[in-house]
Amino acid sequence: MMGDETLIDPADEAAPEPAEPVVEEIEEFHDTGAPSARYRTVNGKPDGQYDSFDEAGNPTGRMHFRSGVLHGELIAYGPGGRVVQRANYRDGLLSGEMLNYDPQGRLVQRIDYRNGVIDGVMTLYAAGREQSVIRYRGGRKEGIMTVYHDNGRPSAEMTYAADMLNGETRYFDDHGRLIRKSRYADDLQEGEDHEYWEDGSVRVEAFYHTGLLNGVRIVHHKNGRIQERSHWAKGQPVGETEQYDMKGRRLGEEGEKRGWIARKVSGEDGHG
């Protein structure tokens, strides 16, 4: 040991005093001299409420920051000071409900967000009425999407999985009657497709494969008899299309000939 040196335990050294945060109140201006924004910074970063204005002094937005990152409610204003959007942020990401409004202040869109992506329900409105309801999971369409007529009845119900049409799709008239039913696989029509008359009977029956007509397509008269029969392969017609009247008689040159013979035999041709 040399001399009278005294060893100092590092634990006995006083910790440095934390630096005081630098807080500033900021006001920015348009070229005209009118205020464009007012906010506070802490250590150079926006922190707290941030208000913005147009050149006439009308508010255009109000948002909230934490350490320079959006955190809290955001409100956007349109002409006349009407609210056009309300949203919420958490650590810079959209979180919770977002509401969008038209210039008249009517709700046009409601969206659920989680961690910056749509997660939940997106509802679209027209003239204050629900126009469509779309379900999301993790930013992708997942589940039933419903579209509505102006009278509030569903016009379509579509099934989504992994952001693509997958499963049954149904269409309705404005009285709620089913008018068409089809199926999809990865956004392509696949399988049976049926269209219906007002009484629920089948009007058209067809089959699709990878989005293309494939197989026999049959159109029915209202009385249930076949009106037309055609054959398809990969979306292209194959062979002759057969057409029939409401009594089941074949139309066309060959069909007319057969029909005339049948009428002649039965005495329906009107001649002695």
In tens, the pLDDT along 122-148 reads 999 998 899 999 999 999 999 999 999
For the cut 90, the answer to whether the pLDDT of residue 117 exceeds it is yes
CATH code, domain carrying 51: 2.20.110
Confidence of residue 64 (pLDDT cuts 50, 70, 90): very high
* Residue type (1 letter), 34: A
pLDDT at residue 128, rounded to an integer: 85
Residue 12 pLDDT grade (very low, low, confident, very high; cuts 50, 70, 90): low
Answer yes or no: is 148 within a domain: no
Average pLDDT, the chain: 91
Q: What is the pLDDT of residue 13?
A: 60
- The answer to the question of residue 169 being in a domain is no
Q: Tell me how many domains the chain contains.
A: 1
HEC per residue, 39-98: EEEECCEEEEEEEEECCCCCEEEEEEEECCEECEEEEEECHHHCEEEEEEEECCEECEEE
Inside any domain, residue 58: yes
Neighbours of 192 (CB within 10 A): 13
Kindly report, residue by residue over 227-272, the tens digit of the pLDDT: 999 999 999 999 999 999 999 999 985 555 554 444 444 455 544 4
- Round to whole Å and give the CA distance between 209 and 215: 9
| 163 within some domain | no
Q: Is residue 36 part of a domain?
A: yes
Domain hosting 62: range is 22-141
pLDDT at site 80: 83
* Residue 56 forms part of a structural domain: yes
Pseudo-torsion of CA 196, 201, 207, 211, nearest 10°? 10
Instruction: Check pLDDT > 80 for residue 17.
Output: no
Tell me whether residue 173 is in a domain.
no
* Residue 122 within a domain: yes
pLDDT tens per residue, range 145-189:
999 999 999 999 999 999 999 999 999 999 999 999 999 999 999
> What's the pTM value of the predicted model, to 2 decimals?
0.80
- Which pLDDT score is estimated for 254? 55
Examine the pLDDT at 223 and tell me if it is beyond 70: yes
